[in-house]
Chains A and B, each alone.
Chain A
C-alpha cells in the first residue's frame, strides 16, 4: 500500500467520554475496503458505540474470521487486542477466549459468508452456549473478496451483477438465531447509524450472545437494481419493528414513561434498554411473535429491523458451566490444578 501515514490530528474541541478519551481514540487503522462499502459505516457505528459506552480499549477483544467483513476488526479500537481467526472459526476462538478470561468485552465481527456458510455450525453452537459477546454479521448477500458470487443470505430472485438470478432459499441469521434460542437478536442497516448505535450498545451490555445482523451493501458487486441488499432496496423496504434506546444507568429512567407502549429491559450491568415497538401488538420479549413477525416481513419482501428480541434473564455460558466469577486467567495455578491427590482419587474411582 502506497498511502502516506498521516500523524493523528486532535482538534482541541473534541469531546471526551468518562475515560477522557475522544472518538478518535476508538478508531483503528485506515480501511482498505472499497469506497462506499457498508462495512465502513458499521465501523463508524462501532467506534461511536464503544466511545459512548466508554469501553476501556485494552479490556476489549475484537474477534473476526475471514472476508471483507472480518477486516473490520482492524479499523476500530486500535488499542484493543484483535484476532483474525481461520474462516468461520471465530465463534470457537471467542468461546475459548471468553472461557479463559470473562473479564474482557468480546466484539465479534463476521459476514454472511463467514457465518452462514463455512461457519454456520460454529455460529449455531456459540448461540446455544450463550457466549457473552456482541456478534455482528455484516450481511451483503455476496462473497465480495472472491468477486461477487451469491452467499447463503441472497434472496430468491435477487440477481448477480451480471443478471443471473439466485434460486436457492436464503438463510436468515435472525430467524436462525431465534429458532435456536438466541437471547438477543437484532437487525439493522449500515445506512441507519441512528438505529444501529443503540443496538450495538445494548448488544455489548447484554449478558450473553447478542446477534446483530446488519444489512451492509457491497458497492462493488451487489448494489444494483436486481439486488435485495442494495442501499436503495434496503432503504425502501426496511420496516423497523422495535426502536431501541440505550440508557446507561437504570436510575435515569425511574420516572414513569408517558408512552404506554415502551418496555424497559434492565440489563445485567445496571443499564437499560427502552424498547418502543412500532406496532402496538409487537412484544420484543416474546420469541414466538418475534419469529412470526420476521417471517411475515420476509414474505412481503420487507426487512424487519430493530431490536427484535431480548431475554435478559437468560444464563450465559459461565453461569451454565458454573465457573467462578473471577476470570480463570487471574486464578493462581495452585488453585486451578487439582494436583496429585485428586488424580489418585480419580484413578481409584475407576478400579
Chain B
C-alpha cells in the first residue's frame, strides 16, 4: 500500500461506501485439525503446488500443526538450519511467491482518451491533479492516457502501458524519482524511456505543475 501525508492527514470526499453482505474472507491455505491428521508431517514452508504459497496453521489447532516462526535460517519444516541448500530452497520459494503475487494484487486504474500518444504514470494522491492535467492538455491538443499504479509487485499491465507510448512521464512527489527507479529495477524498462516529473515542495501536487512539465518537455523534443 502506498500512502502519503495528503491522503493520511487531509479530509477527502469519497463516494458513499457500500458493503457486500455476501463477502466472506478467504484465509487461503489454512489447515485445520482434520487436514493435519491426513498429513504424515506438517511442513510450514513446503510449496506443494508451485505457487510459492505454503499452507499454514493457526495456533491452537494441535501439536502436529505447531511450528516456530523465526528470523534465523530455517528449512521448509520451519526447523533451524545452517544448510545452504535448505536455505536457498526457501529463498527461491519466496521469489516464486512474490512473482505470483504480481498476478493477484490490484490492477492499475486508467483514464484513457482515443488516439493518445503520451502516457502519464502516477500513484497515490497525485491522481486527481494528474487527471485534471490530462483534461487541460487535451484543450491544448496534447492527448494523454493516465495510469495510476495501485500495487507492488507490478502487474504485467504496468509494463504494457509504459511500452505503448512514444513519450512516458512518471509523476511522483519525491526528489529522486523512486517509482521510476522501481520500474527500471523490477521491469527492466530503461530509465531514459521515462521522463520524471518530480514535485517535492511539501504542498499537494497541482495540475499546473504537470501541464507545464509535459508541455515543456514535449516542446523541447519538437524544437
- Do B71 and A104 touch across chains, with their CB atoms under 8 A apart? no
CB distance from B160 to the nearest CB of A (A): 36
Task: Name the contact of A340 in the complex, choosing from B19, B58, B79 (C-beta under 8 A).
Answer: B19
- Do A58 and B19 touch across chains, with their CB atoms under 8 A apart? no
Task: Name the contact of A29 in the complex, choosing from B19, B58, B71, B79 (C-beta under 8 A).
Answer: B79
19-61 of chain B: CB within 8 A of chain A? 19-21, 24-25, 58-61
- Do A73 and B68 touch across chains, with their CB atoms under 8 A apart? yes
Q: Which residue of B lies closest to A74 (CB)?
A: B68
Residues of B contacting A83 in the complex (Cβ-Cβ under 8 angstroms): 68-69
CB distance from A225 to the nearest CB of B (A): 33
- The answer, yes or no, to whether B17 is at the interface (CB within 8 Å) is yes
Interface size class of A (residues with CB under 8 A): 20 to 34
Task: Name the contact of A339 in the complex, choosing from B21, B70, B82 (C-beta under 8 A).
Answer: B21
Q: How far is the CA of A80 from the CA of B67 in the complex (A)?
A: 7
Task: Name the contact of B25 in the complex, choosing from A101, A333, A347 (C-beta under 8 A).
Answer: A333
Residues of B contacting A78 in the complex (Cβ-Cβ under 8 angstroms): 66
Residues of A contacting B200 in the complex (Cβ-Cβ under 8 angstroms): none
- The answer, yes or no, to whether A227 is at the interface (CB within 8 Å) is no
Q: How far is the CA of A32 from the CA of B58 in the complex (A)?
A: 27
A333-B25, A343-B19 known; A58 and B63 CB under 8 Å? yes
- The answer, yes or no, to whether B62 is at the interface (CB within 8 Å) is yes
- Do A333 and B24 touch across chains, with their CB atoms under 8 A apart? yes
Q: How many residues of B contact A (CB 8 A)?
A: 26
Q: Which residue of B lies closest to A66 (CB)?
A: B71
- The answer, yes or no, to whether A41 is at the interface (CB within 8 Å) is no
- The answer, yes or no, to whether B222 is at the interface (CB within 8 Å) is no
- Do A82 and B17 touch across chains, with their CB atoms under 8 A apart? no
A84-B71, A333-B24 known; A29 and B80 CB under 8 Å? yes
73-93 of chain A: CB within 8 A of chain B? 73-74, 78-84, 86
- The answer, yes or no, to whether B115 is at the interface (CB within 8 Å) is no
CB distance from A341 to the nearest CB of B (A): 9
- Do A80 and B66 touch across chains, with their CB atoms under 8 A apart? yes
Residues of A contacting B67 in the complex (Cβ-Cβ under 8 angstroms): 81-82
Q: How far is the CA of A66 from the CA of B69 in the complex (A)?
A: 12
Residues of A contacting B69 in the complex (Cβ-Cβ under 8 angstroms): 82-84
Task: Name the contact of B61 in the complex, choosing from A1, A58, A73, A333 (C-beta under 8 A).
Answer: A58
- The answer, yes or no, to whether B18 is at the interface (CB within 8 Å) is yes
- Do B82 and A1 touch across chains, with their CB atoms under 8 A apart? yes
- The answer, yes or no, to whether A235 is at the interface (CB within 8 Å) is no
A103-B60, A329-B58 known; A340 and B68 CB under 8 Å? no
- Do B59 and A101 touch across chains, with their CB atoms under 8 A apart? yes
A66-B71, A79-B66 known; A101 and B60 CB under 8 Å? yes
A81-B67, A84-B68 known; A339 and B19 CB under 8 Å? yes
75-101 of chain B: CB within 8 A of chain A? 79-82
- The answer, yes or no, to whether A99 is at the interface (CB within 8 Å) is no
- The answer, yes or no, to whether A61 is at the interface (CB within 8 Å) is yes
Q: Which residue of B lies closest to A59 (CB)?
A: B60
- Do A58 and B62 touch across chains, with their CB atoms under 8 A apart? yes
Residues of B contacting A104 in the complex (Cβ-Cβ under 8 angstroms): 59-60
- Do B66 and A57 touch across chains, with their CB atoms under 8 A apart? yes
- The answer, yes or no, to whether A97 is at the interface (CB within 8 Å) is yes
Residues of B contacting A79 in the complex (Cβ-Cβ under 8 angstroms): 63, 66
Q: Which residue of A lies closest to B63 (CB)?
A: A79
- Do A81 and B18 touch across chains, with their CB atoms under 8 A apart? no
Residues of A contacting B24 in the complex (Cβ-Cβ under 8 angstroms): 333
CB distance from A20 to the nearest CB of B (A): 13
- Do B60 and A58 touch across chains, with their CB atoms under 8 A apart? yes
CB distance from A340 to the nearest CB of B (A): 4
94-119 of chain A: CB within 8 A of chain B? 97, 101, 103-104
Residues of B contacting A81 in the complex (Cβ-Cβ under 8 angstroms): 59-60, 66-68
Q: How far is the CA of A57 from the CA of B62 in the complex (A)?
A: 9
The residues of B with any CB-CB pair to A shorter than 8 Å are 16-21, 24-25, 58-63, 65-72, 79-82
The residues of A with any CB-CB pair to B shorter than 8 Å are 1, 29, 32, 57-59, 61-62, 66, 73-74, 78-84, 86, 97, 101, 103-104, 329, 333, 339-340, 343, 347
Closest 3 CB pairs between A and B? A82-B68, A79-B63, A81-B59
CB-defined A-B contacts under 8 Å, sample of 13: A1-B80, A29-B79, A57-B66, A58-B65, A61-B59, A74-B68, A74-B80, A81-B68, A86-B71, A104-B59, A104-B60, A340-B21, A343-B17
Knowing that A58-B66, A104-B60, A340-B20 touch, tell me 17 more A-B residue pairs with CB under 8 angstroms.
A58-B63, A58-B65, A62-B68, A66-B71, A74-B70, A78-B66, A81-B68, A83-B68, A84-B69, A84-B72, A101-B59, A103-B60, A104-B59, A329-B58, A333-B25, A339-B21, A340-B18
